[in-house]
Structure formats: structure tokens, C-alpha cells
Structure 1
């Protein structure tokens, strides 16, 4: 490929993807809201741009073969904030991509599009949305828009419903939901290099024994996750207190996002829980 555009390049996940994506194209254009990025690859350039700015996205995406869209607010926030960065940001990316003839968008969706399903329900990729927050609702919107642009214009999209992407496993919930950084990179690489994807929804999880999702429809990508959260199970469970089976933070796929009031940060709620507050 000649050019790949990566939005959200300064984020926790975007920063993991820069070097791997740079190997897949002649040019990688990384973008975010920070003033600059360190350690640019030899074929990587950085452009500061707001995903909610249509003119900025039109300029950024021109000439791209594919867009890896990870730029958004990665947490629950007020509807107005989510509206700009996540709803409008997704629209500007899809609109610019269609007008510039981009072949495919790889989109960072989220398990929070399905967050209110109980964890005793093994969710598939073709079940109805059941969002837990404004943040989750924005992911539903983008997935449906991706489907519409595929049906209308033939613009391919791979929507990755990322679960718990992190370094080592942090808590009992992640024993099923963990996505290691290595598996994240593999999943995005496969989403870029697979010859045909159409419109696809894939769960972003590692090869966990306790995975609560059905990811069988990811097979066509050749995605074969290598890491397993079970390697951390003994240590994690030894320090996990007894769980209340009526607590939606433990019983729903969305975890704490299923319990926070709309507009209230789920990330801060998780942080307080980890600190025992």
C-alpha cells in the first residue's frame, strides 16, 4: 500500500500500532490532538488534527489506501463531548474516506456497544446492540454507519469490538476479556492485509479460556490470538474478594460502565475501585 492513515496515534492503543502499521505501507500518516509524537518511523509523518473537523479529515485522508480509526474519547463523558469526538468524528472519517476512494477502514469499536448483556450470555457478532453508555452508543452508531457505507458505496470496514486491551491482566473480569498488545497488533495487521473483508464485526480478545464472546466469525481474517489470560488466573483470583452476583459491574459485559450514570467516567470509577475507595 502507498498510504495508511492512523487516527488516535498518541493514545494507549494507537501508540502500539504506529511501528507495525509503518511496515505495511510506503507512508504512514499518524494523527491526534497532541502537538507532536516522538520516535517517528522513517516513513511516518505526524499531522495534528481534530477528527471532528471535516475539512481536517478531508486533507488528512486524501490519497490513503486505508484508514485505521482509533481517534475518539476512550471513556464515558458528557453527550456533547461524545457527540463531537465519537459521533461526528466517525462521520467525518467515513465521509472523507468515501469521497477519496479509500478501500477500507479499520475501526476501534468497543465491547460497550454490547455492554448491558449479562456475562452469562455468550454474545456473538450478529446480536442486536445493547450499549451501556453514551460512549457505547457512539460505537453502535459508527458500526451501523460502517454497514451503511458498505451497502451504499462498497467502502469496506472491519469494526473491532475491543474488550480489555492492556499489558498484564489487571483484574478478574479481564480473565475473560483481556486483549494483549501483541494480539491487538496481530488483529489490526490481519484486518489490513486480508484481501476482502466487506463489512465485518470482530471481537478484540485474546485466546482466553474464559472468553465470554463468540469470535468464530473472525476466522476469515486469519487472526489466531496467542496470549491467554489464564496464565494470570491463579495470582488474580487469590487477591479477588468475593463478588456480588447482583452487581452489574461484575455481571454485565460492560463491567463498571454498566453501572456508572450516563456522562460519568467509567475509567475513573474503575480507578477508584482498584484503590479501594
Structure 2
């Protein structure tokens, strides 16, 4: 039986990394973004915004799984964060539940808890956002919880560390989620017939990692990569990188708007 997976924000950084890793013969990827997408062999492409309720309703039709990556990926003015990240996530969840989608995977972030000390990050770490962007991820997690409890929608919120091809800074040695491991985590969730509502950390098996992977491993996730392989090539950490989970770029004054 062919499975259809909708990826919002499919033209963005994470979407570009994950598209080839999530393709398989028994799966059709439906790719949605406000930016043009290159046509794929088996991919369906939609140029639309996650804030467009009609477009999202059409995009979720006949979909089994939604991977919601769409939205601002860094700090932005509150009006922009509210419109795209908060209202857009509500629009996606509303479309998914009306379409009978089985599972929504929400790309949350370490910035939902960015002002916690960068020494330990258990699975149940209470929200302490570092930016408006981080606040939007807290709201997304809360919406996911409500949509599960009220409507029975399966929702997995993944507090992603740093999902890039390879670590660049010393901070990344603890936060890195390799694209291959990210796909492994998402595949583990997709394979489960029902997972309810869960919040898990998204990180690789990093030697310097402080994020608990117990909840992610309970899904069947087995990370294989370690940022330590790149330790000789990264730039040094700043003082705020070492103090806060969110690091210098999000906890420092330059994040202000």
C-alpha cells in the first residue's frame, strides 16, 4: 500500500536535507513551500503557504503523515512569528485532523527551552524559550498536545538541536542531529501505528551531547552518528554557547528585535 507524506517547508534547509532521505518506493512525498520546488521523480509539489487554510486542506487530502517544517527558522519580528509559526502551525494541525491524517511530526526546537543551562536536558524539560521563535515552538508543542487530547491526532514534537550536514561550531558538538539520524528518527515515528502525543529530543549520539535520547529511543530510534568526528574542524564556543542551551545567537543581545 502506498503511503503519502506531506512535508511543509520542503524547500528550506531541513526539507532539502530530508527529501532524498525520506523517499522510498512505497511512499509518495507531497512537498509544500512558498518557494518553488524542483520536480522530483515521485514527488507531488505544491506552492502555497502554511497560513492558507484552503491550500492546507487540499494539501492534506489523502495524506497519511504530515512533517511540519514550515515557518521562520530563526528569530523574526513578533507579527511575522505569530502569523507564520503560530497561526500557520494551527492551520496545519486543523487541516490534518479534518483530513484524517494519522500522524503529525512537528519540528520543535531546542530554542523552546533555550534559557535553561547547557548542562543537562532531560526529556521533560519545562519550556524556557529564548526568543519569539522559541515561543512559537512552545506554542506548537501546546497545540499538538491539545489536538491529541481533544481530537485524537497523533503528534510527535521533536526538539531539534542543529540539523545540518556537519557541525560548524563547538556548540554543535553537543546539539548536532545529522540528516541521516533525523530521517531515522522520523522513520521510527512513522513506523508506529499510534504514538499519542510525545515530545522528544532530536540529536545524534554525540559524545558531548546533553540532550536525553531516552524518549526518542522508546520510539525505536537508534542514532548512528556522532559530532565528535568533526571536533578538529569546528570554531570555539562562546561564553553564552556554554551557558545556555540556546547558545549565543539566540540568547545573546543580537537576537533582539
C-alpha deviations, 1:23-58, integer Å up to 9, x for none? 1754221010113x22513x2110101001111111
Aligned ranges 1:217-236 → 2 under 5 Å = 217-236=215-234
Deviation at 1:62, TM superposition (A): 1.5
Number of aligned residue pairs? 255
In 2, Cα distance between equivalents of 1:96 and 1:58: 5
**Which residue is equivalent to 2:247?**
255
Secondary structure at the counterpart of residue 131 of structure 1: coil
**Structure 1: how far apart are the matches of 2:39 and 2:46?**
14
Whether the aligned pair in 2 keeps the contact of 1:118 and 1:251 (CA below 8 Å) is yes
What does residue 212 of structure 2 align with? 214
Q: How does 1:2-151 map to 2 (within 5 A)?
A: 2-23=3-24, 25-35=26-36, 37-41=37-41, 43-120=42-119, 122-151=120-149
SS at match of 2:13: coil
Q: CA deviation at 1:5?
A: 0.8
Is there any run of 5+ residues in structure 1 with no aligned partner, and where?
Answer: 265-277
162-171 or 188-197: bigger deviation: 188-197
For 1:263 and 1:198, the matched residues in 2 are separated by: 36
Cα displacement string for residues 182-230 of structure 1 (whole angstroms, at most 9, x for unaligned residues): 1111112222122321111111111001111112111222111111111
Gapped regions of structure 2 (runs ≥ 5): none
Distance 1:233 1:99, change over 3 A: same
2: distance between equivalents of 1:240 and 1:19?
A: 32
- Superposed CA RMSD: 1.7
Contact 1:134 1:262 in 2 (8 A): no
Cα separation, partners in 2 of 1:190 and 1:24, compared to 1, 3 Å: farther
Is contact 2:201–2:215 with CA below 8 Å preserved after alignment? no
Task: Report the Cα distance in structure 2 between the residues aligned to 1:88 and 1:24, rounded to whole angstroms.
Answer: 34
TM-score norm. by structure 1 comes to 0.87
Question: Which structure's CA Rg is the greater one?
Answer: 1
Distance in 2 between residues matched to 1:51 and 1:165, nearest whole Å: 21
Partner residue in 2 for 1:240: 236
C-alpha distance in structure 2 between counterparts of 1:195 and 1:258, whole Å: 38
**Equivalent in the alignment of 1:274:** none
- Partner residue in 1 for 2:178: 180
Provide the TM-score with structure 2 as the length reference.
0.93
Shift of 1:240: 2.8
Write out per-residue CA displacement over residues 230-267 of structure 1, whole angstroms, 9 at most, x where no aligned residue. Answer: 1222443xx637x5xxx434310001201135554xxx
CA contact (8 A) 2:39 2:45 kept: no
The Cα offsets for residues 109-162 of structure 1, whole Å up to 9 and x where unpaired, read as 100001000112x11221210000000000000001101111111100111111
